[in-house]
Structure 1
Amino acid sequence: MKIEVLSDKSALIERSLHLTVTKMTTAIAERGVCTIALSGGSTPKPLYEAIAAQQLPWEKIHVFWGDERYVPPNDLNSNQLMARQAWLDRVNLPEENIHPIPTDEVEPTVAASKYEEHLQTFFQISSGEFPRFDIILLGMGDDGHTASLFPHTEALQARGLITVGNKQDELRITFTVPLINHARCVMFVVAGADKKSALAQVFATDADDFSYPSRLIQPQGELWWLLDRDAGEELQVSTAAES
Structure 2
Amino acid sequence: MHAELHVHPGPEALAAAVARRWATLAEEAIAEHGRFTVALSGGRTPRILYELLASPAWRDRLPWGQTELYLGDERCVPADHADSNARMVREALLDRLPHPPLFFPMVSDPMRPEQDAAHYASLLRERLGDAPIPTFDLILLGMGADGHFASLFPGTTALEDREAFALALREEQVGHRRISLGRRVIAAARRRIVMVTGADKRAALAEALHEPGSLLPIARLQRQASLEWHVDQAAYPAKPAAGV
TM-score of the aligned structures, taking structure 1 as reference length: 0.89
Q: 1:219 to 1:72 in 2, by over 3 A?
A: farther
1:160-198 C-alpha deviation (Å, 9 max, x unpaired): 101123461421000111110000110001100110111
Q: Which residue pairs with 1:110 in the alignment? A: 115
> Is it true that 1:73 corresponds to 2:85 in the alignment?
no
Query: Is contact 1:70–1:173 with CA below 8 Å preserved after alignment?
Result: yes
- Work out whether 1:59 is the aligned partner of 2:54: no
From 83, 86, 94, the counterpart of 1:88: 94
Per-residue Cα deviation, 1:193-221 (whole angstroms, up to 9, x for no partner) = 11011112212334442xx1111223887
Secondary structure (helix, strand or coil) at the match of 2:167 reads strand
Q: 1:58·1:92 contact (CA, 8 Å) conserved in 2?
A: no
| Contact 1:2–1:225, Cα closer than 8 Å, also in 2 | yes
Question: Contact between 2:145 and 2:204, CA under 8 Å: does it hold in 1?
Answer: yes
- Unaligned ranges ≥5, structure 2: none
Separation (CA, whole Å) in 2 of partners of 1:153 and 1:74 = 28
Q: Which residue of 2 aligns with 1:161?
A: 165
- Which residue number corresponds to residue 38 of structure 1? 40
Q: State the distance in 2 between where 1:34 and 1:200 align.
A: 32
What secondary structure sits across from 2:7 in the alignment?
Answer: strand
CA distance 1:44–1:94, shift in 2 (3 Å): closer
Pair 1:176-2:179 in alignment: no
1:88-117: CA deviations, max 9, x gaps?
A: 11114456x111102405331111111101
Q: Could you tell me how far 1:150 is from its partner in structure 2? A: 0.5
TM-score (norm 2): 0.88
State which of 142, 147, 154 in structure 1 corresponds to 2:145.
142
- Equivalent residue number for residue 227 of structure 1: 231
Which of 202, 215, 219 is 1:215 aligned to?
Answer: 219
For 2:224 and 2:28, the matched residues in 1 are separated by 18
SS at match of 2:210: coil
Counterparts of 1:118 and 1:46, CA distance in 2: 28
Give the Cα–Cα distance (whole angstroms) in 1 for the partners of residues 116 and 227 of structure 2: 29
Task: Name the CA distance, whole Å, in 2 between partners of 1:77 and 1:197.
Answer: 26
8 Å contact 2:11–2:48 — kept in the other structure? Answer: no
> In 2, distance between residues paired with 1:19 and 1:108?
33
Q: How has the CA–CA distance of structure 1 residues 142 and 155 changed in structure 2, closer, same or farther, with 3 Å as cutoff? A: same
Structure 1 position 20 matched with structure 2 position 18: no
The count of aligned residue pairs is 233
SS at match of 1:184: coil
Counterpart residue number, 1:241:
none
How far apart in 2 are the matches of 1:72 and 1:22?
Answer: 34
Which ranges in structure 1 are unaligned for 5 or more consecutive residues?
Answer: 239-243
Offset of residue 10 of structure 1? 2.0
When the two chains are superposed, the root-mean-square deviation of aligned CA atoms in Å is 2.0
1:194–1:2 Cα change, 3 Å = same
